[in-house]
Structure 1
Amino acid sequence: MSCGEPHDTDCTEVLSEVWLFLDHECDEKRRLLLEQHLDECSPCLEQYGIEEHLKVLLARKCGGEHAPEEFKQRLRDQIRKTVAEQGGVPVHDRLD
């Protein structure tokens, strides 16, 4: 997807990382770049809003049980791999 406007960070790249952004899974520098793009790009901001609402809904409906940390790490690793394969963009790890 592209809104047709020039941005420092491409729309496709931003949307492929929106879940990482929502989950605070990217480092601060990357987060600021994604945030700047969302501030400038209405179509991406709209898509981000849909994803954010979905995350809230999932948390509300499925948030009672907590998965083991090992499972969550395997899931994060698989999501990163899938995002990188489908989006063709590098996925930046969060700095702990």
Structure 2
Amino acid sequence: MAGTDDGSTAASPGGCGCDEAVAELWAYLDSELEPLEAERVKAHLEGCRGCLEEHEVEVVVKKLVRRCWSDEEPAPAELRARIHATFTTVTISDQAGRS
């Protein structure tokens, strides 16, 4: 899981914690959040290096998936879910190894 520089998952001044920010990243990237929630996630990303790094990885993954699928045949929702689950698992495992 992503976290702050000191390894905590505390809420940022915007009121959104790491767990919530990471859980909402795909919706944030797809502009599917309500404006207030999007602002909370954005504020958290601006103040949390760990979550910002997670966001950057997911941006790259989204671009790769988009490039691999034509406009006529969109990527299946299951693929996006599997990729997200894999990155969440890798991030959690990586953070646990750093403790």
Helix, strand or coil at the partner of 1:63: coil
- The TM-score with structure 2 as length reference comes to 0.62
Provide runs of 4+ in structure 1 moved above 4 Å: none
In the alignment, the residues of structure 1 paired with residue 70 and residue 21 of structure 2 have an alpha-carbon distance, to the nearest angstrom, of 26
**Match 1:35 to one of 38, 42, 59:** 42
In the alignment, the residues of structure 1 paired with residue 70 and residue 45 of structure 2 have an alpha-carbon distance, to the nearest angstrom, of 27
**Match 1:55 to one of 59, 62, 71:** 62
What is the number of equivalent residue pairs in this alignment?
A: 71
In the alignment, the residues of structure 2 paired with residue 63 and residue 36 of structure 1 have an alpha-carbon distance, to the nearest angstrom, of 33
- Which protein, 1 or 2, shows the higher relative CO under an 8 Å CA cutoff with sep ≥ 6? 1
Instruction: Give 1:65 deviation, angstroms.
Output: 1.8
- The TM-score with structure 1 as length reference comes to 0.64
Percent sequence identity over matched residues? Answer: 27
| Structure 2: 5+ residue stretches without partners | 82-99
Paired residue for 1:90? none
